[in-house]
Structure 1
Amino acid sequence: MLLALFLLTAVPAPAQAGVHPSTATQPELAEELVTPPAPKVVLTHWDEAVGRLRARSVELRTALAQLELAGAQARLTLSPLLPEVRASLSVQERLAGRSSLLVEGGDGNVDVGGGTDESRPTSPLVALRASVVQSVINVPAWQALSAARARERAAGASARDAWRLLVRELARSLVAVVAAERVVELNGTGLAQARERHRLTQEAERLGTGRKLDTLRTGRDLEIARAELLSSVESLRRARDGLGLALGADTEVGVAPGFRLDGLRDELSTLCRPLRGEPRADLLAASQQVQAAEREVAEARAAYVPTLGVQSSLTAISVDPGVARVSTWNIAAVLEVPIWDGGTRGATERAERANLAVAGEQLESVRRTLGVEVARARRGVALAEALRLTARRARDAASQTDTLTQEAFREGVATSLELVQSAEELREAERTLALRELDLVQARVEALMVEAECPL
């Protein structure tokens, strides 16, 4: 009995037996998988995109903060070469002890005495102490200042190069979004054409002039076209995500239908200027890093050189009668001669030499990379133009082939296999042509940006 029930449940229902999946009722795909939702942010022109990038880019704000840090460090290295002035004001009352008074200060105590009959220290006593220190000969400080200023110039060049790279990535993201939208459009058209071919073979089979094999082939082609559309929709949404990240947004960012992508190179020309025999910003930054490392080596060597400075201090107290009396005022020249520091100066010079070697290798790496980038960009425009020309010819040939194949199929001369193959070739040729046209735009942008200077 149990065996009989099992056999009955294993037998397919009459309504489902013999029905191919292509003709059975299939669940509809989710709308957002087939049709990408409209992005929350839509760019209408290039200036809007640049404004958002300048206002919200994390990389740009980081580069500007590093530039500010380099400027602050350069100012710190300047301070040992400038006069150092200090002053302190104290008020004291003698409760017990000797008749003379001691004024406390950073340079020790000063006996202001008990005064004379004409002027005596007041009670409470108000004392002013001031000191001035000026460096006269300080070779290490001068070398440190030169190194810090070189690093500040390197930070400025790095910030400009970061802005150039951000603008280039923005242009790339815009081209990627437009390319993805074009592919979605073409795949949508291809899906509609695949449905029409499938309907044609189904009608022929129903009338008895077609074969079941033709319907199966066009049904398979229909599913392939649907899968291509699904994949292109997801690629479009990812491209919009990438554009949003580039602009500092946490949502998808799209472009308006009227966005002028063909004038993107002209828009970039107003933002960035071409280099005319000048070094690019990243090469300039690497050169300044080498110069800073050389100055730091010189600073380490200069640690063996004596330093000379001038110091002066003044002490004034309140007296009665009168207002104030200068109790002491002196000036001194101080010569400091380094003798032995346990090997710190030698180790510092060794470390700075190693840093100089590293900076030199980094400069050579940047120089080589720049040469390759320039050569590739110059070749890229000619290559993109040639590929677009061949893609256009291939699309025209595929379009004519598909038209003739459809006419031959209606006349019963061509097979469904030829019909499906010509449709696939046409879809692929349309996508290739669209991508090649956008590749040409991208190649022109790359050729401009690889040899450009983008002021902040």
Structure 2
Amino acid sequence: MLLTLFFLVALPDPFTAGTDAGVPAVLAATGVGIDEALLAPPGPALALGSWDDALARLRARSVDLQLALAQLELAGAESRLALSPLLPGVTGSLSVQERLAGGGSVSVEGGGGNIPVGEGGEDEPRPTSPLVALRATASQSLVDVPAWLQLSAARARERAARASTQDAWRLLVRELARSLVAVVTAERVVELDRMGLAQARERHQLTLEAEALGTGRKLDALRTARDLEVARAALLESVESLRRTREALGSALGVEGEAGVVPGFQLDGLGRSVAEVCRPLEGAARADLVAAREELRAAGREVDAARAEYAPTLGLQSSLTATSVTPGTARVNQWNIAAVLGFSLWDGGARGAAVRTERANRAIADQQLESVRRALSVEVAQARRGVALAEAQQLTARRAREAAALTDQLTGEAFREGVGTSLELVQSAEELREAERTLALRELELVQARVDSLMAEAECAW
């Protein structure tokens, strides 16, 4: 028994061992070992001063916009390519040849026939040596149903590409607005968490002073020390979130590094600024729905074109051959014109397979159109009620913040008077920080909801 008492007396006090002036080690180590750079993010590489600055840089540096424009250019080129079989075609060839042996005649490259080279009368033109021959061929399609249908499909796809580009720009503008709101939100959260950290330091210092005067307990200091570390962890998380939102904005704007906003950047006029670029549809179809419809129309034309491959084609062809002569300059040896009726007797089933393929493509386009229509209906419905929901959530968050602030004030006064406990002090502080964070988020979510409501039924000029 005496041995047990001896060991109990010899054991160090867990609240005083390894500390100065009776302060627990966990209290003395508060904030030690944390890189202060993690608590204070560096300034962004690009600081946007206004919505117009962000929009101009997005228009000039957006990869998605450049890809959409390239797709539009490609669709235009394919449309022009589909038109070429229906327009006149002219080809020509010019050859120079020297007869090395033999006599009688030489043949003209390109099907010009044989040209006599023997000696004639003095007044009769003779082929020159070397012989210069010109061969020209012209063709014009008169009846080519598949080509006309392919042209119709290509033009429908060009319209679809134009509508897709418009919708891509609308989505980019919407994402830019969201990114700006996200950056401002993250900066506001960092500011609130930094204020919460400062308040946590004050409460911790208050408990340390109370303990030093003998009116407080070590338990109170431990609780406020834990609250201080929780506040510091929240600030670390919010700083990292801010840097990630800045990096996302910088990536969208083509900035090497982070992109942010100038201090005091206001989002109050963001909705009006977006409305200057994007106008309501006023009953017209949105661009993504137009693109899906045009894709379905193009798929239908492709089916008709595959079926029309069974029909014959009719065209005109004309060829001309001229050679150099002496005396003189040139002589037309041949000039003809022909009507050509073309048809395929058997192609191994390729046309039937093409019809099946285009039917499947049309079915896919039809389902894609239905998918776009359903998604659009849901998006519009959610956007319309999103503003009212965001306003209600902002109102409840403001009331909750007012109640939390009053609770924290009264709890602090009670603790100073020795009536309240440190547990109540810490809990009220956590509730106030959470209420302030929630209110800031709800205010900016309201701005975002108004932007989304506008962009759900709008078209944007690019």
Matched, 1:174 2:177: no
Aligned residue in 2 for 1:112: 115
Where 2:27 maps in the other structure, the secondary structure is: coil
Matched, 1:433 2:439: yes
Where 1:229 maps in the other structure, the secondary structure is: helix
Contact 2:278 2:459 in 1 (8 A): yes
1:22 to 23, 26, 29: 26
Aligned residue in 2 for 1:138: 144
2:88 to 78, 83, 86: 83
Aligned residue in 2 for 1:74: 79
Q: Distance in 2 between matches of 1:93 and 1:408?
A: 116
Show structure 2 runs of 5+ residues with no match. Answer: 1-6
Higher mean displacement: 446-455 or 118-127: 118-127
For 1:225, give the aligned amino acid. Answer: A
Aligned residue in 1 for 2:270: 264
1:162 to 156, 162, 168: 168
1:211 is displaced (CA, Å) by 2.0
Q: Distance in 1 between matches of 2:112 and 2:89?
A: 21
Where 1:392 maps in the other structure, the secondary structure is: helix
Q: Distance in 2 between matches of 1:172 and 1:313?
A: 64
1:242 is displaced (CA, Å) by 1.1
1:334 to 340, 363, 376: 340
1:451 is displaced (CA, Å) by 0.9
Write the mapping of 1:235-384 to structure 2, written as runs, cut at 5 A. 235-384=241-390
Contact 1:44 1:258 in 2 (8 A): no
Q: Number of paired residues?
A: 446
Q: Distance in 1 between matches of 2:388 and 2:428?
A: 30
Contact 2:281 2:459 in 1 (8 A): yes
Where 2:26 maps in the other structure, the secondary structure is: coil
For 1:211, give the aligned amino acid. Answer: R
Where 2:339 maps in the other structure, the secondary structure is: strand
Q: Distance in 2 between matches of 1:114 and 1:25?
A: 110
Q: Distance in 2 between matches of 1:21 and 1:66?
A: 65
1:28 is displaced (CA, Å) by 4.5
Contact 2:300 2:362 in 1 (8 A): yes
Q: Deviations over 1:246-292 (max 9, x none)?
A: 11223111110132311111111121121111111111111010000
2:66 to 54, 61, 81: 61
Aligned residue in 2 for 1:3: none
Q: Distance in 2 between matches of 1:24 and 1:416?
A: 19
Contact 1:198 1:215 in 2 (8 A): yes
Contact 2:27 2:221 in 1 (8 A): no
Higher mean displacement: 16-25 or 164-173: 16-25
Q: Distance in 2 between matches of 1:76 and 1:170?
A: 36
For 1:112, give the aligned amino acid. Answer: I
Matched, 1:215 2:228: no
Identity over the aligned pairs, expressed in percent?
69
Where 1:49 maps in the other structure, the secondary structure is: helix
Q: Distance in 2 between matches of 1:250 and 1:445?
A: 27
1:114 is displaced (CA, Å) by 4.1
For 1:403, give the aligned amino acid. Answer: Q
Where 2:25 maps in the other structure, the secondary structure is: coil
Matched, 1:387 2:393: yes
Contact 1:144 1:299 in 2 (8 A): yes
Aligned residue in 2 for 1:4: none
Show structure 1 runs of 5+ residues with no match. Answer: 1-6
1:12 is displaced (CA, Å) by 7.6
Matched, 1:424 2:437: no
For 1:219, give the aligned amino acid. Answer: A
1:15 is displaced (CA, Å) by 6.1
1:109 is displaced (CA, Å) by 4.4
For 1:113, give the aligned amino acid. Answer: P
Aligned residue in 2 for 1:196: 202
Aligned residue in 2 for 1:100: 105
Contact 1:154 1:288 in 2 (8 A): yes
Where 2:24 maps in the other structure, the secondary structure is: coil
Q: Distance in 2 between matches of 1:260 and 1:24?
A: 41
Q: Distance in 2 between matches of 1:374 and 1:82?
A: 46
Contact 2:27 2:222 in 1 (8 A): no
Aligned residue in 1 for 2:454: 448
1:49 to 54, 62, 70: 54
Q: Distance in 1 between matches of 2:150 and 2:28?
A: 81
Q: Distance in 1 between matches of 2:338 and 2:238?
A: 81
Higher mean displacement: 45-54 or 287-296: 45-54
1:371 is displaced (CA, Å) by 0.3
Write the mapping of 1:5-20 to structure 2, written as runs, cut at 5 A. 16=18, 20=24
Q: TM-score, normalised by structure 1?
A: 0.94
